[in-house]
Structure 1
């Protein structure tokens, strides 16, 4: 940095000296040239002082100010060169406007003010004596830029932690007010000192730094710059060792960066952010919450869950019990899953005692090995309830954004105890935690829908965690909790290919959502049911029969005729699938579905839809083959 600044300053120092020398030799406009000489000498002195303090100078404003100063000195040099003309002919043909000296003198004065401001803003806190820096002349047209320079300079200097915290808070305010200011902060080198404050500062300074970074990542280009500055490793360290209030802001910042630039998801995953977030999510949610907390050479949480599956195999083979978990049982499936798993873990504790002391020594020697190792985790049980709840909310929010469309992240989440945590929090967490948990499940199930390997491993019917998730999704749909409903309906639709033929308990609640609900809710319910009834679903015939038995045909006909266009499209598609797969249904004949499909063929806005175009003619022909104007085929 020092060599770069010295190189920048070398040229204007030489030019200032040259102006002074030529002004001394001027033959014409002697008085004006001596004034320029005086100001050039003053400017040269300040530039030499800046060169001596080059280690402390803030590079970004230095470049801008020195570039402007060079332009001014170049004009002054040309002016005093004209004044050296000593022959009569040269004097006659050298025209110098009277305003040229005043203008050049003013510009030199402005350059002096700019360099003085640069020296003050780059000075240490002790040398500055809390004096108000004011605005340099260069900032007359863009005062915000000067304010950003000042705050970043404080962060870069050896100022106290309190002053650096205040500077970070000022950058938070600027970034929140205007996206352009955020881009300027990044361009002017504000990210590295914010990361440094996040590593070294006190709690309030760390919070301000993390919040500023989250606000700066408003677009992919900005997030890319922030990630390249090393934010992932710093955030991971804070999630592992920081104060919970700081960790909460960091989790929020991760969610913001991932939302605005999904390509950064893998960077956070590679820095163990996923398992650290899961450990925060699981803290006080379920016992022995993270698989990463158990360093057992012989057994793992996965084996515990598999053992749980074995002991409950008879119950799982009984489809009636799976389909109706609430029928006369005193405890929920969720409680059974957690209790059963924890009971098995308790039985394992005796075998683990011999290894516990050695493992703890290894963990203390290698803090990065375990997700819950670290000073913050040891003391987090003493945090107040509000901070804990906020931490869970932001951890769920971060996992939601990190899991969007990312198979690797979703696999990491599902291999941990996160699914069970989401199920528990969806049942009894605070409102914001419930909302973010529902959104996270929606994204994870959406990825699993596209990747059969993940779907089979994470949401197989015998998985206790998957059962718990499905149970909570079903409860939300049955209760029609407005703020969670759409996310849970989408999640169930995404899991449509994981259910057994006897697992029909989800169809009825979805069908009921078709009946006189908000258009958005009806549309989402129809889309979810389409995933049950579509040809790609191996059990489409069973699901279509279940939809008919639940009264779906009647509701769909109403939506086709009277629903909004967005509801009509998904409703017609579903009706086509049902007619295609179960054309012999007496209910379809009684409801005159064939007439409905004939009406649809005359609606341009429906037949032009890509999802309807290939289905409608085939569904109509199938019904015509088996039914005739509402009478079933005999």
Structure 2
């Protein structure tokens, strides 16, 4: 806490204090006042020498010593006037009556300032009490309050440090300026130390404070240099109290939200596997190489299903082959029984997903590095739910626009976990799960490799995710899950085969939704099915028409103020794909395209300008042929 710079600035105040003491002792005038001046200066000098031997908190030490030096220089000037020799010099040396009173107050303030500095800097001093604010803090009380708490983080007991971390978190939450001050005054490093050394309350408060400090990129850049990513990841992986780990996951999410540079650093610290481990705990029975694989009865069911499931290839990407039956008596009858019972259950896809995606054989139990489950069973349900919610939130924020992280997430059992949590979870964990899926889908939209690897239609985990997204969209309830589910399905439009008939209908029905935001998002999703980038755009366009989408889109173009342009763009794509459709003609699409071409605010849109003339022309051409 104390560097050579502090020791250097202490030298001059000590020298000045000694000079004041000597000058005041040799005073010829105002002897009584000089005696008091000498006494207070000697007390201040003793404190300064004590400070020179202590490990001082450097940030306030600089300011206090500079202020003390100015006070001692004034005191030296006053004491020098009292040493004047000769009658004439004494007569013409005028000392105001208030000068000694003012100097006495200033020395008292300096004594209080240095005493405060010693108290906050010395380990164990008034450990369980606030040190109060020194006189120098009158103009900036918040700054000195921050110094007080940071000093406690350095020297206090674990309980006192926990309280100070909570106080700093509260200050950072209330005001961005306070958050910046905490970082500037070197408050990050002692918080990181508390994350490592503290008890559950201290770790939780410190992690939450770190998340609140990272409010902008500049602040986070300074935090990254202190090793905040490593500290939070270590807390998540050390098998400690779940409440503290939930706070750490929340902090990861906050930092990743406010600065994309955190994503790669957290990934380098293997935080993805740790978060997936938390997400998978008690969510799926076998949650991958990132966690301990149980060798229970459920494990044998998975392995039996894996060993006996034979797929018939139905595409170039599906090259599954049959496996050997287990070599034990009555294996075939046992396998038949297991398959029959699991297929009869609605949970069949979840039971087989882990095995179908590379579960470790029971003969080779796998222990992951970086995630422990010790003591987690005893945690209360609310804490477990909070941990899952925060793990999902962190994965959501880390996945944004990051292909590498999305690949890491989808190569784990995270997709299966998200599907289970969407079905069985509630509240924040469901919302964070669907938002994570939406971000992964957004990245997959522009990455053919990720689409093929993560959302292959025959992959059980991908199928489970799509089933849950479709269930939400098909239900059509306007809640916090609906919009991200619609967005995700639209982003994944190129993963659906022409034979997949479940997706278009629910999206088309939402075009008639009273909430404009739902209609707009549905239009955008359907546009991705019908646009030029989609190889199956003709088939999808026909499906949209068959589901009754044309009449809804015509109404939106005419009347949907907030979705007019988007609806017109989708209509143009459909008209280009199936210009000879009788249903389009019956719905009045040629008329609405002709009307739109005369609307100035519509044709100004670049996409409309590039699509509308061709769509209008092709509709007129094919419909005129059909009418002959």
Structure 2: distance between partners of 1:45 and 1:185:
31
* Alpha-carbon contact 2:393-2:432 (below 8 Å) kept: yes
Residue aligning to 1:230: 227
* Alpha-carbon contact 1:287-1:342 (below 8 Å) kept: no
Residue aligning to 2:416: 420
Residue aligning to 2:8: 7
Residue aligning to 1:589: 585
* Alpha-carbon contact 2:23-2:79 (below 8 Å) kept: yes
The one of 285, 288, 291 equivalent to 1:287 is 285
Residue aligning to 2:21: 20
Residue aligning to 2:197: 200
Cα 1:423–1:131 change in 2 (3 A) is closer
Residue aligning to 1:323: none
The one of 528, 534, 541 equivalent to 1:544 is 541
Structure 2: distance between partners of 1:215 and 1:555:
46
Structure 2: distance between partners of 1:514 and 1:577:
16
* Alpha-carbon contact 2:235-2:245 (below 8 Å) kept: yes
Structure 2: distance between partners of 1:129 and 1:596:
77
Alignment of structure 1 residues 28-43 onto 2, 5 Å? 32-43=33-44
Deviation at 1:461, TM superposition (A): 2.2
Structure 2: distance between partners of 1:164 and 1:244:
20
The one of 521, 545, 548 equivalent to 1:524 is 521
Residue aligning to 2:311: 312
- Name the stretch that deviates more: 481-490 or 617-626: 617-626
Structure 2: distance between partners of 1:452 and 1:411:
12
Structure 2: distance between partners of 1:235 and 1:340:
31
* Alpha-carbon contact 2:353-2:461 (below 8 Å) kept: no
Deviations 1:7-46 (A, max 9, x none): 2312221222233334445566655555443332221111
TM-score (norm. length: structure 2): 0.87
Alignment of structure 1 residues 66-215 onto 2, 5 Å? 66-81=65-80, 86=85, 99-125=98-124, 127-128=125-126, 133-157=131-155, 159-215=156-212
Cα 1:95–1:603 change in 2 (3 A) is farther
Counterpart check, 1:471 vs 2:463: no
Unaligned segments of structure 1, at least 5 residues: 297-303, 320-328, 364-368
Structure 2: distance between partners of 1:380 and 1:347:
23
> Match of 1:392, SS?
helix
Counterpart check, 1:435 vs 2:448: no
Counterpart check, 1:446 vs 2:459: no
Deviations 1:419-463 (A, max 9, x none): 111111111112221111100000011111122222222112222
Structure 2: distance between partners of 1:308 and 1:470:
25
Structure 2: distance between partners of 1:528 and 1:604:
26
> Match of 1:292, SS?
coil
Structure 2: distance between partners of 1:2 and 1:235:
27
* Alpha-carbon contact 1:442-1:490 (below 8 Å) kept: yes
* Alpha-carbon contact 1:139-1:146 (below 8 Å) kept: yes
* Alpha-carbon contact 2:127-2:160 (below 8 Å) kept: no
Unaligned segments of structure 2, at least 5 residues: 295-302, 319-342
Cα 1:219–1:583 change in 2 (3 A) is same
Cα 1:346–1:222 change in 2 (3 A) is closer
Alignment of structure 1 residues 557-596 onto 2, 5 Å? 557-565=554-562, 567-596=563-592
Cα 1:546–1:45 change in 2 (3 A) is same
> Match of 1:313, SS?
coil
The one of 320, 344, 348 equivalent to 1:335 is 348
Deviations 1:153-206 (A, max 9, x none): 12111x322222222222233223333222222222222112212211211221
Deviations 1:198-222 (A, max 9, x none): 2112112211111222222222222
Residue aligning to 1:322: none
* Alpha-carbon contact 1:426-1:434 (below 8 Å) kept: yes
Structure 2: distance between partners of 1:589 and 1:416:
49
- Name the stretch that deviates more: 33-42 or 185-194: 33-42
